[in-house]
Each structure stands twice: as structure tokens, then as C-alpha cells.
A and B are shown apart, each in its own frame.
Chain A
Amino acid sequence: MNNSPNKPDTGPEIGPASTMAGNEDPRLVSRRWFLFKASIALNGIVGVVLAVPIVRYLLSPWRKDASYKSWISLGSADSFPTGETRLAFYKNPSAHPWDGQTDNVACYVRRMATDQFRVFAINCAHLGCPVRWFPQSQLFMCPCHGGVYYADGSRASGPPERGLFTYDWQVVSGELRIDAGQMPTLSNTAKLVKVSLGQGDGSCQG
């Protein structure tokens, strides 16, 4: 194409272009090519050997959900009044010193009866935004796309496909504990969930 209409007239150039092994011994030439190919193969092997640890390093966060999760205390079970939904906080178990405030995770605790709890993730089941609890109307509302959930976590309206994510809980010597440590997403139920009322169940495995 039209790249060098005014190319200046240059003299003989220094460089590899002009000399070719015109009258060299073909055996010598083929040996050079063999060495060239062997050196490429050597680098290929070293590359593969190096790639294994590099790929493993890159994939290191890809772990089983269980390895990220553990039982975390939300404080005394008595601090959650029966019949009410309260915001609670915990520190994510896999915290680094440089996480700042990002490992302060919030969740909602609803105490239905003395020994009956339900712990909801704060993340909307649609796209993970933080839902807000309105005790007056007994609804959770999401500020992002307007997902609404009833007090039991089941879907009330809006784009979410399911109810709020819940954590497994247990009460051990008066302390409410939840099995947490991972941002809840749809990843364990990536299939579509039929939208209907009363689908608040489903744990925070994801």
C-alpha cells in the first residue's frame, strides 16, 4: 500500500538482510536449524513448567465455599427481641489487616420465637445491593432496582427471582452464631428460580 512514496534513497544497509548462507555446507545449515528448533523447544518446556505454578497462583482464590466459611458469633441471642428484625454486624472470618472497613459485614436477624431465628443476608437476591428494613410496613426494600421482600424474606415484588438469602444459624451457650464468610450470590442456584411468593428459603451457600 501507499506507505512510502518518498522513501529516501538509502545506501547499502547494515543488517541481516543481505547475507544468506548461499554456499555453506547444507549439513552445517541443517544443524543450525536443529539447534534453533531445539532452543525453541527448550523454552517451550520451561514455559510450561513455569505456567503451572503461575496458573495455580492465579486460581488460588477459586476455592470450595466451605473453606471460606465458619461459625461466627453475632452476640448474645437475648439481644434480639422476639418478633423483631434487627441489623447485626460481624467481622468476616477471612480478614486481612488492610481490608479496612470492608470486612464489617451486616445481616438482618429476625427472631420469630425464643428458639427460632432467621438470619438474612443484606444483599438483594437480584444484584447484591443492600436492602433496607422498614419495621413500620414490615418490608425489606432494595434501593437499586426496587426489589421488595416480606418480613420472612420471601419475595414481595420487583426484579428479584427469589427471596432473601439466609444464613444457617445455631445458638451455642446463649450466643447466636451464623455460618458465614462469603458474599451470598446466586452462584449455587444459577438456574432460574420460578418467581412466586413465599420463596424466602435458600441458604447462603453461594
Chain B
Amino acid sequence: MNPTPRRQRPGGERPGAVKCIYDWFERRLQLEGPVKDAALHQVPRDTASWWYVFGSAAFTLFLLQIVTGILLALVYVPSAGQAWNSLNVLNHQIELGWFLRALHGWGSNFMVAIVLIHMAQVFLFGSYKFPRELTWILGVFLLLMTLGMAFTGQVLRFDQDSYWGLGIGASIVSRVPFIGGGLVHLLLGGPIIAGDTLSRFFALHVFIIPGALLLFAALHIWMVLKLGINEWPMPGRLVHRATYIAEYNKLAHEDGIPFIPGAFWKDLVFSGAMLAAVAVCAFVFGPFGPSGQPDPSIIQTVPKPDFFFLWIYTALAYLPPEMETPFMLIAPLLAIALLLVIPFWAGEGEKSWHRRPVAVLAVSTIAICFGVLTQLGTTTPWSPHMNAWSSDTIPVHYLKTATPLVRQGAVVFQAKQCRNCHSIGGVGGQRGPALDDVATRMTIDQLRFKVVTGGGNMPAYGKNLSAAEVTAVVSFLETLHPANEPPAYDAARRAVENAHGLPAPAAPPAGSPASPAANP
């Protein structure tokens, strides 16, 4: 609109005061036209769907993060020496500070989740095809920045997990050939994780990434307005560069509705529901951490990354060593490159998921991998239980009728931290196999050999156990078998011993007194 002389209404009725004020601003701002254009533009009728609500919800959550982030910044001290204390003040001393922290933390989780769901949805609906390639590409960067916000936010919660998470980040960066050392210095702002590190992550989390996110999100939404919302994909309706725009315009005009209110009310409902869900989670579950102090001299810690990075943590536990550096350095670049290339590689053709089996398979595979790796990451079966040797006792019935040698073996088993990696009775580490029925799998000679020389993921204990200790612990392991299943024995050895008139070992009848600790 442009400044026009004040109109006299028919009948000489003077406009009201509100209208006067509105007009005064509108004559100067001239926003009515563009806003009306955006609000009332025609969209294909099918897009007024609950499947199309994730993008706006992601943006709403981003706005929530900005608001709660600014509110937290009123109190938070971005100093390595004081950040942890200021978070505890927020949690415990400032009225509802815990709730604001919880809102920000849960808002972050919800935002990452919704962004991922949004991405999967637009991928399955073929939205990245012509002419929306750039919208998709900006979306890929928005995803990366969202993950960047999640990681830098985890650093700002400056506790033990955050400290050692930075250490993991630095260790990954250090594997870059030639310039790895310099990159570590840049990442940490110096030689170690310290004050300079937190300061630069604060700048990243509060200024750099959110600024870029805002800009990219604005362009992303601008293009959605300019190019129109992707129509509901119909099997057989193919995208051709030459004809698509005319077809879309026809669809939007002949079977279209204005964006507001026809489609937008569902966005509003879903965004509101997400905000409410964040608030409920924040209220019920409370804020995340901070865990222990970020003091590297406290080594009694079991660092773990936040939820959305657990899958990487898992992958790094399971990869063979020679695959790790390539995975850490090349796989992310390949994945990003693949995402960026998709709209050019498959910019035309079928949009419907009904006729894109590879797309459906890819999304399901990624989702399943993410789910499985995250689940494993929450239980970390590869991590030794550092306190199992001293805190988890051996169930009494295992030792009730045991000989003194077997009992001594159980003591050795506990004292030498075997329990940290091997569970008995369902308790203990899961790094190595559970040993409840190990005697059925290995003969006494095999047990002795394994204990002394190690192998696979088992350290060799030969140097760390005396011969008597080895004998004791192997005797104990030999009793670990179910009552109805005899321990494994070496037939050849028994034959030799029989020939020499020695008492035959092993193979006692199941549940007999010779097998004192047989599991019930």
C-alpha cells in the first residue's frame, strides 16, 4: 500500500481511533499488502493436511528456544569458572529458573525431533524436486545448524558430560590428517578444554549459529511462499521441469483454498500442542543436569552424550579400529553431500512414496538404525561397569556349597575387576559375555588359557594373576553352569587320565554334589 489521502467513508462516518492508529502505521510500514499476499495465497486443497504441520512447528519451537535462551542468558555466566555454579543457581535459587532451563532443554529435544520428522516427511512427499531444490538444500543446512545448536548447547551446560563430550569432539577433530592439531586448537580456543573453550561455544550458541539459523529459516519460508506448498503427491503424477509450474498453478487455483484459514489452523493447533508438550515435559521431568562439576581431576565419571548424539557414540563403540577414522571424517561429509545432491539427482519424476520404494526403504533403514543405535547407547553394553567389582556381590546360591578353593576363586573374580565386564546373575558389566553358564561353553583348560592370555576383547591376565589365583578363579568359573547341564570337558584328556588311573575330572551328573554351585 502507499500513502493515500485519508478517505472519507460514505455517509461522512469518521473512522474510529483504532483504525486511525492502524492507518498511521500502515501508511508508513506498508506491510498490509505483502502480509495479505502471504496469508491469502492459494494452496492446493490437499495440502491442508496434518502431514504438513511439521515445518511450522519446528519454527515455533525455534522461537521458543530464542525466547527461553534469552531469558536464561539473563542469569547464565559464560565463564568456565562460574557457568556450572550459575546453572545450579538457576536450578535451585532463582524462582522458576529450573522451569526455564527445562523448557529450553526439552524445547531443544523437541526441535531436533520435529526437524528430523519434517525432513523425513518432505523427503517421502518428494517435495525436494523441481522447483524446490534450494528449499531442500537450505533445509539440510537448517538441520545441521539445529544439530550444531544441540551440541553447543550441551557444551554450555558446562558439566562433566559436557567437558568430556568436548574431549571426544577434540579427539575426533584431531584425526583430520595434517591440520588436525591446529583444528583442535581452534575448536578449543587453546591447548586444553578451559575458559576459552566455553567462551567460543557461547558465541557459537548465542550469536553465530542462531543468526545463521534465523537467516536460513527466513529464506526457507520465503521460498515456501514464493514457490507454493508442495502438492499432495499422487502416484503417476510426474514432475517435468517444462510443465510443472503451470500444472501447480492450475491445481492451486482450480482446486485450491487460501492458506489462511484453510491450511494454517492445523499448523497452529500442532504448534500449540508441541509447545504444550514441551511445557508438560519440562514441568514433569525437569531440567537436564548439570551433572558433576567440569573438573578434569575428577575421573570417577562415566561421560555420555545427549540423546541425539548417542547413536554416534554407539557407532564409535562398535566400529573396528581401522574403520573409525574414515567413519568419523568421511562418512559425515558423504552423508551431507548425498543430501545436497538428492534434488539434482532426482529432481524430476515420481513424487509419491507409493512408487518410490528406495526412498521408503532408506527412511525406514535410517530410522531403525537410529532407534537401535540410540537404544544401545542408553544401555552401553560395551562399557565396563566401573564399580561392579566392589558393589555387585555374587549371588549367595552360587557359593552355598562351594569348596574353599571355589570361594577363593570368587574372591579373585571380584577383586580383579572381572565383574566390571562380565555379569553374573544378571548383574555386572556387559562388555564381555555373561558367565552364568560359561562352564558349559569352555573346558577347564580353555578357561585357564583365556584367563591367562586373553584374546578378542579380553585383556591377558597372565601378568596380573599368580598361578594360585588363576587356579582359584578357573575353579570358580568351572562351577558356573545350570543344574541340569554338565560342564564342558575334554574327552581326550579324560581318556588319558583314565589310562593313567587318575581320577576323572568333570562330567559329574547334573545337579550332583560334585557340582556345588550349579545354578538353580
CB-CB nearest in chain A for B295 = A101
Stretch at the interface among A29-37, A126-134, A168-176: A126-134
CA distance A145 to B172 in the complex (A): 14
- Interface residues in B76-105 by Cβ distance below 8 A to A read 79-84
Knowing that A3-B41, A157-B458 touch, tell me 9 more A-B residue pairs with CB under 8 angstroms.
A1-B226, A3-B225, A61-B188, A65-B181, A131-B299, A137-B417, A161-B324, A181-B192, A187-B180
Q: Across the interface, do A99 and B194 meet the contact criterion of CB distance under 8 Å?
A: yes
- Interface residues in A149-206 by Cβ distance below 8 A to B read 150-151, 156-161, 181-183, 185-188, 190-192, 195, 206
Q: Across the interface, do B196 and A87 meet the contact criterion of CB distance under 8 Å?
A: no
Asked if B404 is at the interface of the complex by the 8 Å CB criterion, the answer is no
Please judge, given known A-B contacts A3-B37, A132-B299, A206-B181, whether A148 and B459 are in contact too, CB under 8 Å: yes
Interface centre among B3, B297, B324 (most CB of A within 10 A): B297
CA distance A44 to B192 in the complex (A): 37
Q: Across the interface, do A187 and B36 meet the contact criterion of CB distance under 8 Å?
A: no
Interface size of A by Cβ–Cβ distance < 8 Å? 78
Pick the contact of B457 from A92, A100, A146 — CB < 8 Å? A146
14 contacts between A and B (CB under 8 A): A2-B42, A8-B36, A61-B185, A98-B81, A103-B192, A104-B295, A105-B296, A123-B167, A127-B171, A128-B164, A151-B463, A159-B316, A185-B174, A190-B176
Interface centre among B41, B163, B256, B418 (most CB of A within 10 A): B41
Q: Across the interface, do B2 and A10 meet the contact criterion of CB distance under 8 Å?
A: yes
Q: Across the interface, do B195 and A102 meet the contact criterion of CB distance under 8 Å?
A: yes
Find chain A residues with CB under 8 A from B384 CB.
Answer: 141-143, 146, 148
A195 to chain B, nearest CB (A): 5
CA distance A186 to B386 in the complex (A): 25
CB-CB nearest in chain B for A15 = B2
CB-CB nearest in chain B for A61 = B185
Q: Across the interface, do A94 and B299 meet the contact criterion of CB distance under 8 Å?
A: no
CA distance A62 to B256 in the complex (A): 57
* Binary contact readout A54-70 vs B (1 if CB under 8 angstroms, 0 otherwise): 00001101110100110
Asked if A122 is at the interface of the complex by the 8 Å CB criterion, the answer is yes
Asked if A5 is at the interface of the complex by the 8 Å CB criterion, the answer is yes
Find chain B residues with CB under 8 A from A136 CB.
Answer: 389, 415-417
CB-CB nearest in chain A for B293 = A101
CB-CB nearest in chain A for B245 = A1
Pick the contact of B174 from A103, A142, A156, A206 — CB < 8 Å? A206
Asked if B249 is at the interface of the complex by the 8 Å CB criterion, the answer is yes
Q: Across the interface, do B420 and A183 meet the contact criterion of CB distance under 8 Å?
A: no
B136 to chain A, nearest CB (A): 17
CA distance A126 to B327 in the complex (A): 14
A176 to chain B, nearest CB (A): 17
Asked if A7 is at the interface of the complex by the 8 Å CB criterion, the answer is yes
Asked if B421 is at the interface of the complex by the 8 Å CB criterion, the answer is yes
Interface residues on B, range: 35 or more
Pick the contact of B167 from A13, A61, A128, A148 — CB < 8 Å? A128
Find chain A residues with CB under 8 A from B197 CB.
Answer: 102
Q: Across the interface, do B3 and A183 meet the contact criterion of CB distance under 8 Å?
A: no
Asked if A95 is at the interface of the complex by the 8 Å CB criterion, the answer is yes
Find chain A residues with CB under 8 A from B383 CB.
Answer: 143-146
- Interface residues in B17-52 by Cβ distance below 8 A to A read 33, 36-38, 40-43
Q: Across the interface, do A127 and B294 meet the contact criterion of CB distance under 8 Å?
A: no
Asked if A50 is at the interface of the complex by the 8 Å CB criterion, the answer is no
Q: Across the interface, do B316 and A145 meet the contact criterion of CB distance under 8 Å?
A: yes
Asked if B189 is at the interface of the complex by the 8 Å CB criterion, the answer is yes
Find chain A residues with CB under 8 A from B296 CB.
Answer: 101-102, 104-106, 122, 130
Asked if A4 is at the interface of the complex by the 8 Å CB criterion, the answer is yes
CB-CB nearest in chain B for A108 = B299
Find chain A residues with CB under 8 A from B248 CB.
Answer: 1-2
Q: Across the interface, do A139 and B459 meet the contact criterion of CB distance under 8 Å?
A: yes
CB-CB nearest in chain A for B319 = A159
Find chain B residues with CB under 8 A from A96 CB.
Answer: 194-196
Q: Across the interface, do A143 and B303 meet the contact criterion of CB distance under 8 Å?
A: yes
Q: Across the interface, do A92 and B192 meet the contact criterion of CB distance under 8 Å?
A: yes
Find chain B residues with CB under 8 A from A158 CB.
Answer: 457
- Interface residues in A43-96 by Cβ distance below 8 A to B read 58-59, 61-63, 65, 68-69, 87, 89, 92, 94-96
Q: Across the interface, do A2 and B228 meet the contact criterion of CB distance under 8 Å?
A: yes
Pick the contact of B81 from A12, A100, A148, A192 — CB < 8 Å? A100
Please judge, given known A-B contacts A100-B294, A145-B317, whether A7 and B303 are in contact too, CB under 8 Å: no
Asked if B322 is at the interface of the complex by the 8 Å CB criterion, the answer is yes
* Binary contact readout A4-23 vs B (1 if CB under 8 angstroms, 0 otherwise): 11111011111000000000
Nearest first, the 9 closest Cβ-Cβ pairs linking A and B are A100-B81, A185-B174, A156-B459, A187-B181, A128-B167, A187-B174, A101-B295, A68-B191, A182-B191
CA distance A102 to B292 in the complex (A): 13
Q: Across the interface, do A4 and B41 meet the contact criterion of CB distance under 8 Å?
A: yes
CA distance A14 to B164 in the complex (A): 59
Asked if A138 is at the interface of the complex by the 8 Å CB criterion, the answer is yes
Asked if B382 is at the interface of the complex by the 8 Å CB criterion, the answer is yes
CB-CB nearest in chain A for B458 = A157
Pick the contact of A185 from B163, B171, B301, B324 — CB < 8 Å? B171
Q: Across the interface, do A102 and B163 meet the contact criterion of CB distance under 8 Å?
A: yes
Find chain A residues with CB under 8 A from B227 CB.
Answer: 1
Asked if B431 is at the interface of the complex by the 8 Å CB criterion, the answer is yes
- Interface residues in B241-261 by Cβ distance below 8 A to A read 245, 248-249, 252-253, 256
Q: Across the interface, do A159 and B324 meet the contact criterion of CB distance under 8 Å?
A: yes
Find chain A residues with CB under 8 A from B43 CB.
Answer: 2
CA distance A5 to B225 in the complex (A): 12
Find chain A residues with CB under 8 A from B174 CB.
Answer: 185-187, 190, 206
CA distance A142 to B41 in the complex (A): 59
Asked if B177 is at the interface of the complex by the 8 Å CB criterion, the answer is yes
Pick the contact of A150 from B325, B431, B459 — CB < 8 Å? B459
Find chain A residues with CB under 8 A from B83 CB.
Answer: 100
A171 to chain B, nearest CB (A): 23
Find chain B residues with CB under 8 A from A102 CB.
Answer: 80-81, 163, 192-195, 197, 294-296
* Binary contact readout B3-14 vs A (1 if CB under 8 angstroms, 0 otherwise): 110000000000
